[in-house]
């Protein structure tokens, strides 16, 4: 999208919503300025996900991520983008207490990062909060199906929708967040027929992660997609690169050169001016 002056305009939440039934939405996670700069030209939407707790901080789950952490990384990503719509996760404990708490913290994220909207997990139980936020000018990206913030009560990470009871709950959740005013919804870890059914039933776009190509778009954790984790690959991840061994090889070569006195060389050294 170009302005009259020829300068590229940032995609908005309205732009993403308008992609329903059109082009597929390309979404990846971003947590830092350098990576955001690399992803920005190719993505419609960048998500500053609370997955950063596991990806960057070595946490076992996302539960320990704080609002301050999300704001710091949201700022970093905004510095590296000019095209993609940027959404920042509301972390666990920052919105579940009340719709007023959610509004205060969402506004803080918007004001302190300059991002385009927030994402929160939850279906029917969060519909009132989503309506409260959207009616007051806070764009909301919803999230149903597998919800990582509820891992402690859900019994771990697993695919959902296998039973009719599970499927009915996810259907109700998706309908509730759409009716409440979310501009789009993530469907995570959900069986393909159910994801396809929900996508067809909603007027807003669905963005899948482990929910099949039936969704209107896809999101992956960038570090997973780039192969920066060598020890674990979820079933729904395709590695489009395998950077982990390349990083290891580069560090090994650096260490060998330092220990052998080959680095730094004369070309890397400052000499007195004559």
From 60, 100, 125, 188, active-site residue: 188
Segment 128-186, tens digit of pLDDT? 999 999 999 999 999 999 987 776 555 555 677 689 999 999 999 999 999 999 999 99
Q: Is the pLDDT of residue 6 over 50?
A: no
- For the chain, the structural domain boundaries read 13-243
pLDDT > 50? residue 210: yes
Provide the pLDDT for residue 3. 42
Q: Residues annotated as binding site?
A: 50-51, 89, 119, 121
The answer for residues whose C-beta is within 8 angstroms of residue 100's C-beta and 6 or more apart is: 132
267 catalytic? Reply is no
Tell me the pTM: 0.92
pLDDT value at residue 148? 79
pLDDT tens column, 100-109: 999 999 999 9
Q: Kindly report the CATH number that applies to the domain delimited by 13-243.
A: 3.20.20.60
More confidently predicted of 153 and 17: 17
Average pLDDT taken over every residue of the chain: 92
Given a cut of 60, whether residue 67 has pLDDT beyond it is yes
As a whole number, mean pLDDT of residues 32-57 equals: 97
pLDDT at residue 222 is higher than 80? yes
pLDDT at 1 over 50: no
Instruction: Give the pLDDT confidence score for residue 229 in this predicted structure.
Output: 77
Pairwise CA distance, residues 160 & 147, whole Å: 10
Residues annotated within a binding site for 3-methyl-2-oxobutanoate = 50-51, 89, 119
> What does the pLDDT look like over 239-272, one tens digit per residue?
999 999 999 999 999 999 999 999 999 999 999 9
């Amino acid at each position: 999208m170009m302005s009259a002056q020829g300068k590229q305009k940032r995609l908005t939440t309205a732009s993403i919503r308008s992609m329903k039934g059109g082009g597929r939405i390309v979404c990846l996670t971003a947590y830092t300025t350098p990576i955001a700069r690399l992803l920005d030209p190719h993505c419609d939407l960048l998500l500053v996900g609370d997955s950063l707790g596991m990806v960057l901080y070595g946490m076992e789950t996302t539960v320990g991520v704080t609002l301050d952490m999300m704001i710091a990384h949201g700022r970093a990503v905004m510095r590296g983008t000019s095209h993609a719509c940027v959404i920042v996760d509301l972390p666990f404990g920052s919105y579940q207490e009340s719709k007023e708490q959610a509004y205060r913290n969402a506004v803080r994220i918007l004001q302190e990062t300059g991002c385009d909207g927030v994402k929160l997990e939850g279906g029917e139980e969060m519909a009132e909060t989503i309506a409260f936020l959207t009616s007051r000018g806070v764009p909301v990206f919803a999230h149903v199906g597998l919800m990582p913030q509820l891992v402690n009560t859900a019994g771990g990470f697993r695919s959902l929708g296998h039973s009719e009871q599970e499927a009915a709950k996810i259907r109700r959740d998706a309908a509730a967040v759409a009716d409440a005013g979310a501009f789009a919804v993530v469907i995570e870890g959900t069986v393909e027929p159910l994801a396809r059914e929900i996508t067809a039933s909603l007027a807003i776009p669905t963005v899948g992660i482990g929910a099949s190509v039936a969704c209107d778009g896809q999101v992956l954790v960038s570090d997973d997609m780039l192969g920066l984790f060598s020890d674990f690959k979820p079933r729904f991840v395709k590695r489009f690169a395998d950077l982990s061994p390349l990083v290891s090889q580069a560090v090994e070569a650096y260490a060998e050169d330092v220990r052998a006195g080959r680095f730094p060389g004369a070309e890397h050294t400052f000499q007195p001016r004559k």
